[in-house]
Amino acid sequence: MSLKYESTLREPLVDGVKDYHQVTEDIISPIEGKPGKLWYVGFFISLLLLGFGAFSVFWQIYFGVGVWNLNKTIGWGWDITNFVWWVGIGHAGTLISAILLLFRQGWRTGVNRAAEAMTIFAVMCAGQFPIIHMGRVWMAFFILPYPNTRGPVWVNFNSPLLWDVFAISTYFTVSLLFWYSGLIPDFATIRDRAKTKLRKLLYGVASFGWTGSTKHWQRHEALSLVLAGLSTPLVLSVHTIVSFDFATSVIPGWHTTIFPPYFVAGAIFSGFAMVQTLLIITRKILHLEEYITLGHMEAMNKVIVLTGSVVGCAYLTELFMAWYGANPYEFATFFKYRAAGPLGWSYWIMMTCNVISPQVFWFRKMRRSVAVTFVMSIIVNIGMWFERFVIICTSLYRDYLPSSWSYYRPSWPEVGFYMGTFGLFFTCYFLFAKYFPVIAVAEIKSILKTSGENFKEGMEKYEGKTAEEFSHAVHHEHAH
């Protein structure tokens, strides 16, 4: 018997009677068989949305940005709202992978793989909006600095928009490496179980010749820690730089120093909500309720209520500073045009979804309810989308020239483009769930003997002993 021990007061992270073989069977079997009807339905709907999105983008590129309802005051509308929203969605994956790994939080093992995949797909969706917004997408490479063959035309290193490109591309690269390196041992398991030559070949190439030797595991562990160390500052830096797109301007409603922590908390808030949405669907379709447990959902709901409260404090701080700062333009933006103007309905949707609704998670019963968690995860993401809409549109639609004031509503190509990114996101996710293990098999096995339900039950007899008595009892059993 190992000296590893975890109190039975701590909830099991793997329910049911499991051994190593059963863990492999439960998680790998869905990849080896045909998907169920729900998978086909979800995948088909995702493809339809993706097709509609592709047509909307084609329409916009063919006819120009004029088909969008941008106007004299609102130059950033639906597209940049969606860009910031998708970047925020991607935050939770890196947070769960990197920071929780460094802090040795065992509960991350059931949810980290899907969260990392979500990060990759969300950043892919986000990156399209600024590029398509340029209008002439074939000139998109002009945002990159490269040797001076372009003469006097050079990128502006003082602009946060340029640093957005660096931050998000770095974030995407590190997240992709982190995700893929974690998949390698599981790819080798699928390869070793493969019954066809093609499957064995494909997963064999993907696993890079992994044999599971001690040296391989040492290097794998070292690489994971290095990537976690690199990723951790990225969690803070990416949305901080996105917030600088607004905070470094002089527009009332944007010109504020609270934006970096406010954006980071909001990104974690919405990212965890999206992880909840995906995991609840995944555990239902793939029958993984024993690995993605109520304990996992409760832990993430605690993060949601914490970050939601931080976001709520930020909203109130903005209102207070708009009043206390005695700047008539800031005051008008927040109190006349944002909370009470023609777009005021969006402000109150944001407040209801982001500040009032998450308070239900102060109650344990609500945190552990699958139905409540699923509904709340969608409500939070609606609220966080409206937060970005409020920041962008309600700060722009009333400028210093009343004759230019206007109202904003999106055109169908704008809506279609957004729906298309949902199609891309869920198409990628359904393919991922079909061909890749959505739970890290090797990591689940690493915690099974300390946090598995059947192993914890065997520890009950030691609960009343002191540390010395426990150690003596374990050594005595081991000697016999």
CATH numbers and ranges of domains, the chain: 20-145+156-452 (1.20.1630.10)
Q: Is the pLDDT reported for residue 1 higher than 70? A: no
Mean pLDDT for the stretch of residues 466-476:
72
Q: Is the pLDDT reported for residue 473 higher than 80? A: no
Under DSSP, is residue 398 helix (H, G, I), strand (E, B) or coil?
A: coil
Which pTM was predicted? 0.89
Q: How many other β-carbons are positioned within 10 Å of the β-carbon of residue 405? A: 15
H/E run at residue 444: helix 441-451
Cα separation, 160 vs 242, whole angstroms: 8
Mean pLDDT for the stretch of residues 285-301:
88
295 near 398, Cβ under 8 Å?
Answer: no
- Per-residue pLDDT of 185-227, as tens digits, reads 999 999 999 889 999 999 999 999 899 899 999 999 999 889 8
344 near 247, Cβ under 8 Å?
Answer: no
Query: For residue 148, what pLDDT band results from cuts at 50, 70 and 90?
Result: low
The residue count for the chain: 480
Question: What confidence score (pLDDT) does residue 418 get?
Answer: 94
Q: Is the pLDDT reported for residue 2 higher than 50? A: no
Contacts of 298 (CB under 8 A, 6+ apart): 364, 367, 368
> Which residue do the tokens 């150690």 mark?
471
**End-to-end CA gap in the chain:** 11
Query: For residue 432, what pLDDT band results from cuts at 50, 70 and 90?
Result: very high
- Residue spans of alpha helices (H) in 325-411: 328-331, 344-351, 364-367, 370-396
Question: What confidence score (pLDDT) does residue 5 get?
Answer: 61
On average, the pLDDT of the chain sits at 87
CA angle 131, 135, 137 (to 5 degrees): 50
Residue of 121, 38, 41, 128 lying closest to 82 (CA atoms): 128
Q: Is the pLDDT reported for residue 401 higher than 70? A: yes
Question: What confidence score (pLDDT) does residue 368 get?
Answer: 92
Question: What confidence score (pLDDT) does residue 443 get?
Answer: 86
Q: Is the pLDDT reported for residue 230 higher than 90? A: no
